[in-house]
């Protein structure tokens, strides 16, 4: 490769909002119900039905807009995007084209070099999700489930400001963090509550004009996004180097094969015949409404980090990790509010929690144990009701099933043996059974005591306080 190329990337990010009901009707948005059980005349496109905007959708969209430094459109409208497909019961999608709710924003990210950089946000608009088609291979037919039809989405359209996969991931992480902090969505890529389409072109370094771009769809993880960006960059450069040209098209990423294929080209692009939806009245955002939403904005990460530094004696690195994921920060704060020591709470999150999350490939949003139970577990260790190895064992069960640690310890009989008489009897047995180690210890081999402590703990089935064991052993020896 003789020339130097620059990658130019813009993203279209769809985020499913965490409302209880759909965007234009009262049907539940809960995931996993039997097909077509969460539907009504509106979200199945029955003749004569009419949409009514769910106000919570508007509030979330504005909240995201404010948090990403957008201008809020004070007179916004919904438009119909017309296209025929069976997952779209009206054969038009209600979206926003002409007057989207948020425009001209941006978020700051950190580049690989450690520099600050702003990624512009062109607009954020509200729209409805489509239903789901299920293709029955045996019956040679397709079935439609409209449970998802009408689930609220926002689409965040960035400017073409990103230059690498790393910047894209940084931008997505930033968006996810902001939206999770707002509680507007759980932003899970795997489950599709956050979806990113990548618009990518390459140009010779130093040139101003953009190259021809492609749009990449079906990217279900940060890893897939990174691979797809690197792959598409290579593909486009190869075409240019070979004297061919890049075709403006939509491509689908196949993560299993590690390659993409063309779905449709610009020539096939449909004319969506957008026009304002006459069934929905224009949205007027009042000063009062904006003020209310502003007032409700949560403490975002930067503020939270500063507060943690001031309030809690925990390492900066811990603060960075815990505040990086809203659910972790929530757990931490709630446990501390219940009386847990910040240091201990942080240790449990940074240690066992992250370890198990990694092992089980879970997101912070998947965590099931409650802050109450974490606080109880910490209290049990602090009061020495259980020792640290038992605590770890209890934590694993709590992590999986959110058991009440007090109850669990009680039921399983995991309390540390506090009866010194019983302990003394066991110690005497251990001393009698291990004359060599006793001898070694008495000859100044301090380490030998570790073996004796271990033997004692084993005999006690772990239910002894290692500190007491140590102290009593020394006395006996």
Partner 1 sequence: MDIMDMTALQLAAAIREGKTTAVDATEAVLARIEEQDKTYNCYVTVDSDGALAQARAVQKKIEAGELTGPLAGVPVAVKDNLCTEGLRTTCSSKILHNFVPTYTAEAVKNLQKAGAVILGKTNMDEFAMGSTTETSAYGVTRNPRNTEHVPGGSSGGSAAAVAAKECFYAIGSDTGGSIRQPASYCGVVGMKPTYGTVSRYGLIAYGSSLDQIGPLTKDVADCAAVLEALSSHDMKDSTSIAREDTDFTAALTDDVKGLRIGIPNDYLGEGLDGEVREAILRAADVLKEKGAVVEYFDLSLVEYAIPAYYTIAAAEASSNLERFDGVKYGYRTEEYAGLHNMYKKSRSEGFGEEVKRRIMLGSFVLSSGYYDAYYLKALKVKALIKKAFDEAFSKYDVILGPAAPTTAPKLGESLADPIQMYLGDIYTIAVNLAGLPGICLPCGLDSKGLPIGLQLIGDCFQEKKLIRAAYSYQQGGELA
Binding site for partner 1 (CB under 8 A): 41, 44-53, 80, 82, 84, 86, 89-92, 144, 271, 273-275, 278-281
Contacts of 162 by beta carbon, 8 Å cutoff, 6+ apart? 8, 9, 10, 11, 119, 168, 171
Helix H or strand E segment including 156 = strand 152-158
Helix H or strand E segment including 435 = helix 435-442
CA 137 from chain centre, in angstroms, equals: 34
CB-based contact 232:202 (threshold 8 Å): no
CB 127 to partner 1: min, Å: 16
CB 54 to partner 1: min, Å: 12
CB-based contact 157:14 (threshold 8 Å): no
CB 356 to partner 1: min, Å: 46
CB 48 to partner 1: min, Å: 4
Q: 134 or 400: whose CB is closer to partner 1?
A: 134
∠ Cα 466 470 472 (to 5°): 115
- CB neighbour class for 463 (10 Å; exposed up to 12, middle 13-18, buried from 19): middle
Q: 52 or 433: whose CB is closer to partner 1?
A: 52
CB-based contact 193:30 (threshold 8 Å): no
CA 432 from chain centre, in angstroms, equals: 56
**Cα–Cα distance for residue pair 407/422, rounded to 1 Å:** 24
- CB neighbour class for 470 (10 Å; exposed up to 12, middle 13-18, buried from 19): middle
Q: 31 or 98: whose CB is closer to partner 1?
A: 98
Q: 90 or 347: whose CB is closer to partner 1?
A: 90
Q: 268 or 419: whose CB is closer to partner 1?
A: 268
**Tokens in use for 340?**
């847990």
CB 145 to partner 1: min, Å: 13
CB-based contact 42:24 (threshold 8 Å): yes
Q: 84 or 317: whose CB is closer to partner 1?
A: 84
Q: 82 or 347: whose CB is closer to partner 1?
A: 82
CB-based contact 378:427 (threshold 8 Å): no
Which residue bears the tokens 């492609």?
214
- CB neighbour class for 135 (10 Å; exposed up to 12, middle 13-18, buried from 19): exposed
Q: What is the pairing mode between strands 194-204 and 214-217?
A: antiparallel
Q: 266 or 461: whose CB is closer to partner 1?
A: 266
CB 85 to partner 1: min, Å: 8
Three-state DSSP class for residue 237: helix
Q: 274 or 300: whose CB is closer to partner 1?
A: 274
Q: 46 or 291: whose CB is closer to partner 1?
A: 46
How many C-beta neighbours within 10 Å does residue 34 have? 8
Q: 92 or 181: whose CB is closer to partner 1?
A: 92
∠ Cα 227 228 229 (to 5°): 95
**Cα–Cα distance for residue pair 136/147, rounded to 1 Å:** 18
CB 45 to partner 1: min, Å: 5
């Amino acid at each position: 490769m003789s020339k130097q190329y620059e990658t130019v990337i813009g993203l279209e990010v769809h985020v499913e909002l965490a409302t209880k009901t759909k965007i234009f009707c009262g049907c539940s948005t809960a995931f996993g119900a039997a097909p077509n059980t969460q539907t009504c005349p509106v979200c199945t496109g029955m003749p004569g039905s009419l949409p009514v905007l769910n106000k919570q959708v508007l509030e979330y969209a504005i909240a995201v807009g404010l948090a990403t430094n957008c201008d809020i459109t004070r007179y916004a409208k919904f438009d119909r995007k017309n296209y025929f497909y069976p997952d779209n019961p009206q054969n038009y999608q209600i979206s926003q084209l002409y007057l989207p709710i948020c425009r001209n924003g941006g978020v700051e990210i950190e580049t690989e070099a450690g520099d600050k950089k702003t990624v512009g946000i062109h607009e954020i608009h509200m729209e409805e999700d489509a239903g789901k088609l299920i293709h029955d291979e045996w019956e040679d037919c397709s079935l439609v489930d409209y449970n998802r039809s009408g689930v609220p989405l926002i689409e965040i359209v960035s400017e073409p400001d990103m230059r690498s996969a790393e910047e894209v991931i940084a931008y997505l992480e930033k968006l996810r963090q902001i939206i999770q902090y707002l509680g507007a969505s759980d932003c899970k890529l795997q489950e599709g509550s956050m979806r990113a389409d990548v618009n990518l072109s390459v140009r010779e370094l130093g040139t101003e004009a953009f190259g021809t771009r492609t749009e990449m769809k079906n990217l279900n993880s940060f890893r897939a996004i990174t691979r797809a960006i690197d792959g598409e960059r290579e593909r486009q450069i190869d075409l240019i180097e070979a004297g061919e040209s890049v075709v403006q098209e939509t491509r689908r990423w196949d993560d299993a094969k590690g390659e993409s294929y063309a779905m449709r080209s610009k020539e096939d692009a449909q004319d969506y015949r957008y026009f304002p939806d006459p069934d929905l009245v224009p949205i007027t955002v009042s000063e009062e409404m904006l003020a209310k939403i502003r007032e409700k904005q949560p403490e975002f990460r930067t503020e939270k980090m500063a507060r943690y530094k001031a309030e809690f004696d925990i390492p900066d690195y811990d603060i960075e990790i815990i505040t990086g994921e809203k659910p972790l920060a929530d757990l931490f704060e709630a446990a501390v509010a219940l009386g847990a020591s910040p240091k201990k709470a942080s240790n449990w999150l940074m240690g066992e929690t992250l370890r198990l999350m990694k092992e089980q490939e879970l997101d912070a949003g998947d965590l099931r144990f409650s802050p109450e139970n974490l606080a109880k577990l910490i209290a049990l260790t602090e009061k020495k009701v259980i020792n640290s190895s038992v605590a770890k064992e209890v934590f694993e069960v709590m992590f999986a099933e959110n058991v009440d640690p007090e109850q669990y310890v009680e039921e399983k009989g995991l309390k540390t043996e506090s009866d010194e008489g019983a302990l003394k009897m066991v110690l005497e047995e251990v001393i009698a059974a291990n004359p060599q180690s006793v001898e070694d210890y008495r000859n100044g081999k301090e380490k030998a005591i570790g073996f004796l402590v271990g033997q004692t703990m084993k005999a006690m089935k772990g239910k002894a306080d290692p500190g007491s064991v140590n102290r009593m052993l020394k006395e006996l020896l």
